[in-house]
Structure 1
C-alpha cells in the first residue's frame, strides 16, 4: 500500500513538473539572443546604491565605542558579498557578534549587532543602551524619540521583535535566544 502511495506521489510530482514547462519555442524564437542573467551591475550602479554616511572604519570605531566587550574580537572575517558587490565583515566577541555590510565604495548599508553566540543566549541589556547611539551614527543629526526607542528596546525582549521604518533607515530588533539589532538602509534612503 505504501509503495503505491509513493508511486502516485511521484507520478503527481512528475506531472506537476511537466505541466509547469512552457511550450517549445517557435521556430523564429531560436534566433533571439540569450540574456546574460549572471551579469553584475556596473561599478557606477553599485556606487549609486543607497548607503549610510559612514564607511567600514567609522562602523568599526562605533562598535569600539560601545565598551570593552565590543573592542577585541576573538574572530574577524571579511568576505565578498555578491548581493551588494561589496563586503561583509563578521566579528565575533565573547558572547557577542557584529556584521558590517558595505558596498564596493566601502560605505555601510547594513549593520547588525548581536548578543549571544552559538549555543549561548544573549541579553538585550548588551544592546538596548546603544540603540540611540547607533541610530545617530547612521543618521547624523537625527534621533529616536522616547516611544521609538522604547519600541526597539521592547523588541529585544519578544521573539516576534519590533520594526521601525524611519526616513532612510529600517531598524529591527529581535528577542530570540540571540538578541539582534538590525539597522539597514530603508527604501526611501537619500
Structure 2
C-alpha cells in the first residue's frame, strides 16, 4: 500500500512540462522485497547486465546521459541507475554482484513512455537474466515502469 502514493507521484510528475529526474532508489519497494525475504538472484552479474543493455532499442539506446551507483543499505549490494533522455534502467545487485532486481522506466520529464517499448525491454532483460523472474510488476500511465524481481 505504501507504493501507491509513490507511484502516483511519479506518474503525475512524469507528465509535467518541466523535466523530472528519476529517484535513484525506491526505498519502499526495496523494504517490501526485504520484508518478504527476497534474496534470490538471477545468474548474471550487474556488470554483465550493464554491458548487455548497451544494445537496447529506444528509449534506452546508446550511452546513458548519466550513471550513478549507490550502496543499497538494505541488501548490502549496489543500486546502479542508467539515465537516458527518455527513460532509465535501475539495476539492483546483492553483495556478490548478482542481479536480484531490474527496473525499466520508459518516459521521463515531459516525454511519455511507450507500452511496446517497455514490453520489448522487458523481454530483452528476461533473455539476459537467463531465467524466468518470480515477479514482473508493470505500472501503466505516462511514466511506464516494469520491475523484474528474482
Same fold (TM > 0.5): yes
Higher relative contact order (CA 8 A, sep 6+): 2
- The yes-or-no answer on 1:169 pairing with 2:129 is no
**Equivalent in the alignment of 1:131:** 122
What is the RMSD of the two structures over their aligned residues, measured on CA atoms? 1.8
TM-superposed CA distance for 1:176, in Å, is 1.8
Aligned residues: 111
- The yes-or-no answer on 1:65 pairing with 2:30 is no
TM-superposed CA distance for 1:120, in Å, is 2.8
TM-superposed CA distance for 1:121, in Å, is 2.0
Give the Cα separation in 1 of the matches to 2:122 and 2:55.
12
Aligned pairs (5 A) from 1:64-103: 64-67=54-57, 69-103=60-94
In structure 1, runs of 5+ residues without a counterpart are 1-48, 143-167, 186-190
Give the Cα separation in 1 of the matches to 2:122 and 2:88.
15
Normalised by the length of structure 1, the TM-score is: 0.53
Give the Cα separation in 2 of the matches to 1:62 and 1:174.
24
Give the Cα separation in 1 of the matches to 2:73 and 2:64.
25
Structure 1: which 4+ aligned runs deviate by more than 4 Å? Answer: none
Give the Cα separation in 1 of the matches to 2:74 and 2:109.
25
- The yes-or-no answer on 1:108 pairing with 2:99 is yes
Aligned pairs (5 A) from 1:14-33: none
Normalised by the length of structure 2, the TM-score is: 0.66
